[in-house]
Amino acid sequence: MEYLELLKRLEELIKAPSYRIVGKLKDTPLLWTSTEGAFNLSVLRGDKLDRITKGPIAGSANPKSQLDYVPIIRDVERGKELHSIFVVNLKGEEYELASPKMRITSIAYDEKSVVFTGSSQNSTALYIVEGGKLRKVVDTPPISVVTDVNGDHIAGYGVFARRFRSSEVFLADKSGEVKVITPKEGSVNVANSLKEGKLYFTSDYEYSGEREWIYTYDVESGEIRRVKFAYDDLERSQPTSLTIEPDDKLVIASKNGESGLYIDGKEIETPEGNVTGATKVGDRVYFTHTHLLRKSAIYSHDLRDSTTRVVIDSGVSIKGKVEFLKVKNGDVEVPTFIVTPENRKDVGVIYVHGGPWGSVDNRWDTLIASLLINGYVVIAPNFRGSTGYGYKFMLMNVGDIGGGDLSDVVRVRDYVIEKKVVNRVGIMGYSYGGFMTLLALGKEPDKWDFGIAGAAVADWVEMYELGDSAFKGFIIMAFNGDNKELMKERSPITYVENVRAPLCIIQSQNDSRTPALPILKYSQRLQELGKKFELHLIPDMGHIPYTMDDVMKVVLPAVLFLERETRKEKS
């Protein structure tokens, strides 16, 4: 095996910078970037990026355009996702604001305060830092997100009705009084921002879960209105999901794994793929864009003459083709991407995304790219439960984790074999994708030539017992209640005796989402049964990679395992 060449390919791929616009500070575009070997915040000054954070960050608030600073969060416990809050300004000056050392799941701010949702072992709550003092405002459901604060009003959304197939927006004041708002019982509603006495939010209530639109809630009158734009391009496109920046009427709209950019309802021409962020400065709209075969680039669109140019490009692309199709599985159509590199092998990898409420879109994914550059055909099913295809589709796996969604994955595997897309096929995933990988190897053992599971769930019952309030709430929602029998029935440890394919397990020691202990027990059982597997336990790292070295620690053992196993089979 040519180790040095493989290492060189992976290093070039992973260390090439990525960019995503998150907004602006004082007419200066602000971006999440992976420059200098870590995820950080940078600003775009002219055609040059300047990093403003001093070390890896775990998250940030949506920036306020009238201010020159933004709160950020950092993991201060070696990957365990126990966070502290810092503030950084345009000059790159930082200071620590508060150190709650709990899992911070969302954060927002205005001129006077910073608010966040945080989870400890036993509770989730809305907190505020004001006048340098940290205090709890009110307890909230485990699944809750704060999106904005403006004066006395705090906005967000969450699973307040405890139906698990709907969400409601909320308005809270700083004394802890909470008003829960929904335009229709059972609908899915996501708060965006507060502007001029109105709460902007998206909802599917007019479309029965098939797609969504943008609405406003008047804070004083309680009136809900549908947002209208000057142009009708956006409405005619009938997107399934939307994000809005109300100040400049910028909307990113998605459908079938692609997304476009609109200003006041008028489409801005963008390349094939996905717009990942946008902001308006004067007569220019800056946006970041990516594709399954091209890493991200920063663009500038001139509204005066409708010209677009590339400002900064990562410079990384892969030769190949992307195909999007929908595979029939009973009454469900499974949206699927098949990505074939130019230097293809006759080996396919069924790549299962995380979440489960996530997706594979036509956008860069480092794990997928690491497979493509080594010649593997990647087949990425957006199984029931995936986002971007309407909330009705997304919520189909609530109460059926590892059931219909696994059936979708297996059906797509059978499709590519039937159609002779590839001759051999394995399965790979991280987080929920790791769980699906282990479950698929145990419940459908004859379907796979190999498996790679990263940050996997091996035992839902034990994960629940080890989890904090946020992840206990996630599991209760996923299983539509405290259904321990179903959790056990859908746990990979239950089927470990059936595993036949060679298996690579990659697990971080400090992971507090999918903890290491159940995986170690699963691996011990594999050892007792004489199964063929390898286990990579990564120290001083959690569920989320914060640096490019962290990413390499996950990618490298996966690719080396694949190279060994597929060459053996070929010989």
pLDDT digits 0-9 by tens, 248-265? 999 999 999 999 999 999
More confident residue, 147 or 568: 147
- pLDDT at position 569 over 70: no
pLDDT of residue 363: 98
Please state, in angstroms and rounded to a whole number, the distance separating the CA atoms of residues 68 and 84: 20
User: Are 431 and 355 spatial neighbours (Cβ–Cβ below 8 Å)?
Assistant: yes
> At 484, which amino acid appears?
K
Please state, in angstroms and rounded to a whole number, the distance separating the CA atoms of residues 392 and 44: 39
User: Does the global pTM surpass 0.75?
Assistant: yes
- pLDDT at position 571 over 70: no
pLDDT of residue 123: 95
Per-residue confidence band for 2, with pLDDT thresholds at 50, 70 and 90: confident
pLDDT of residue 162: 77
- pLDDT at position 377 over 70: yes
Give per-residue burial for 433-456: e unless 16+ CB within 10 Å, then b.
Answer: bbbbbbbbbbbbeebbbbbbbbbb
Per-residue confidence band for 161, with pLDDT thresholds at 50, 70 and 90: confident
Domains of the chain from N-terminus onward:
232-315 (no CATH), 320-570 (3.40.50.1820)
pLDDT in tens, 261-320: 999 999 999 999 999 999 999 999 999 999 999 999 999 999 999 999 999 999 999 999
**Percent with pLDDT over 90 in the chain:** 97
Tell me, what DSSP letter sits at residue 497?
G
pLDDT in tens, 431-443: 999 999 999 999 9
What contacts 24+ positions apart, CB below 8 Å, involve 402-407? 402/435, 402/436, 402/439, 402/490, 403/490, 404/332, 405/356, 405/436, 406/436, 406/439, 406/440, 406/443, 406/444, 407/329, 407/330
Mean predicted confidence (pLDDT) in 536-553: 97
pLDDT of residue 3: 84
Which tokens go with 262?
A: 């609109």
317 dihedral zone (left: phi>0; alpha: psi -120 to 50; beta): beta
pLDDT in tens, 45-54: 999 999 999 9
- Residues belonging to the active site: 431, 511, 543
Per-residue confidence band for 1, with pLDDT thresholds at 50, 70 and 90: low
User: Are 496 and 442 spatial neighbours (Cβ–Cβ below 8 Å)?
Assistant: yes
What residues have CB less than 8 Å from 276, skipping those under 6 apart? 20, 21, 288, 289, 290, 296, 363
- pLDDT at position 404 over 90: yes
> At 149, which amino acid appears?
V
Per-residue confidence band for 107, with pLDDT thresholds at 50, 70 and 90: very high
Q: What are phi and psi of 215, to 5 degrees?
A: -135, 165
Please state, in angstroms and rounded to a whole number, the distance separating the CA atoms of residues 519 and 459: 8
Tell me, what DSSP letter sits at residue 269?
P
Per-residue confidence band for 114, with pLDDT thresholds at 50, 70 and 90: very high
Which tokens go with 56?
A: 């890896």
pLDDT in tens, 65-95: 999 999 999 999 999 999 999 999 999 999 9
pLDDT of residue 570: 53
- pLDDT at position 344 over 70: yes
Average pLDDT, the chain: 97
Nearest of 64, 53, 51 to residue 96 by alpha carbon: 53
pLDDT in tens, 469-525: 999 999 999 999 999 999 999 999 999 999 999 999 999 999 999 999 999 999 999
- pLDDT at position 150 over 60: yes
